[in-house]
Amino acid sequence: MDRMLVVVFDKETKAYEGMKALLQLDVDGSISVAASVLVKHADGSATVKEGDYPGPLGTLLGTSLGSLIGLLGGPVGLAIGATAGMVAGAAADLDITRIGDAFLEDVSKVLVPNRAAVVAEIKEDLTTPVDTRMGAIGGTVFRRALSDVRDTVNDEEIGAMKADVAQMKAEHAKAHADRKGKLMEKINHLDSKIEAQLQKRKDRRQAAEREAQAKAQVLKAKAATAKAKTL
């Protein structure tokens, strides 16, 4: 199952240890993961670092993973490490993360200043391998399955607004002159909201396409590495 994973530690060094453990589980074939370390400073600001991970994480940032990292950076702002500058343009968009605000709230209560976390997108069949390794290091694990539910909600909302517009236009055609202006204001307002929702849906689809391409690159890189080891 594809999930977002956040493991919170009380020290930055433990977060790096946790990321290395996840990467080892990836090498062992227990999971497939793209991960980074996020450090919360005393002033509430955050820094994102890739540490010594030379993999293709950068190709994934700006999609679901990058958006979650941006959101966890908090209102004070996100300071970007030299090796993770690609996250600077990541949209802090809860829709793109596909995990909902309840998950973000749960993590934020534990990821307080002077703590660090491994933030990852993970594919795992069992939760035990990750939970066992992270628990041994002292990490608090949060995970949430990725979902397309927001697309469904978005489509229903757009459909409802279009129905309202259609009704108002029918009413506008029969209304007196003094009423037509007010109806047109409402129609224009709803048209603007529909356009905004359609743009958000387009943005999500483009993000999903980028993510699919990035994951294909990850698999290609892993296959190339495995082949090189056999030579």
Least-confidence region, from 47-61, 75-89, 124-138: 75-89
CA distances from 169 to 100, 163, 197, 230 (A): 35, 10, 20, 68
Pair of tokens at residue 201: 């849906």
Q: Which of 43-52, 108-117, 176-185 has the weakest average pLDDT? A: 43-52
Contact criterion met (CB below 8 Å) for 55 and 61: no
Place of tokens 């993590």: 107
Nearest CA among 67, 52, 68 for reference residue 111: 68
Positive or negative torsion for Cα 81, 82, 85, 88? positive
- Over residues 142-150, the mean pLDDT reads 70
pLDDT score recorded for residue 126: 87
Of 84, 36, 38, 87, the residue nearest 61 (C-alpha) = 87
Question: Buried b / exposed e across 8-33, counting CB within 10 Å, b at 16+?
Answer: bbeebebbbbbbbbbbebbeeebbbb
Interval 171-196 mean pLDDT = 88
52 three-class SS: coil
pLDDT recorded at residue 224: 72
Q: What pLDDT is recorded for position 43?
A: 87
Q: What is the per-residue pLDDT for 151?
A: 59
Angle 179-180-182 (CA atoms, 0-180°, nearest 5)?
70
Pick the closest to residue 54 from 11, 92, 84, 91 (CA basis): 84
Per-residue pLDDT band at 20 (split at 50, 70, 90): very high
Greater pLDDT, 189 or 71: 189
Whether pLDDT at 105 is above 50: yes
Mean pLDDT of 29-55: 78
pTM: 0.63
Q: Which residues contact 59 (CB under 8 A, 6 or more apart)?
A: 213, 214, 217, 218
Residue 171 has pLDDT above 60, yes or no: yes
Determine how many CB atoms are found less than 10 A away from the CB of residue 222.
Answer: 15
Lowest mean pLDDT among 36-40, 88-92, 110-114: 88-92
pLDDT confidence bin for 96, thresholds 50/70/90? low
Cβ-contact 116, 12 below 8 angstroms = yes
Domain ranges of the chain: 2-147, 148-231
